[in-house]
Amino acid sequence: MENNSSPNITSFVIRFVQDGDRLAQGSAPYRGAIRHVQTDEEISFTRWQDAVDFIRRFVPLDGEGITPPGP
């Protein structure tokens, strides 16, 4: 039996702002925002892990929750 399902596409827009003043103050040298295109939900972040955690809400990463195709 063939699997004729459409691919599941999830898109994100990530913006980075580098700020030299923040580095001089000892803060992270960048800040950013990530938006999930399909839901228009957006968060701001200063730690990359926060962006990854946001993505994980929509996409299994590192094989999380992915089952191999059956016979």
> Residue 68's pLDDT is what?
47
Q: What are phi and psi of 58, to 5 degrees?
A: -115, -25
Query: Which pLDDT belongs to residue 6?
Result: 81
Q: For residue 52, give every residue at least 6 positions away whose Cβ sits within 8 Å of its Cβ, in sequence order, or none.
A: 61
Question: In the structure, what pLDDT confidence band is assigned to residue 62 with cuts at 50, 70 and 90?
Answer: confident
The predicted structure's pLDDT at residue 48: 92
pLDDT tier, 64 (very low <50, low <70, confident <90, very high otherwise): low
Encode pLDDT of 13-56 as tens digits.
999 998 776 566 766 778 999 999 999 999 999 999 999 999 99
Domain residue ranges of the chain, discontinuous segments joined by +: 20-56
**Spatial separation of the C-alpha atoms in residues 60 and 36, rounded to whole Å:** 14
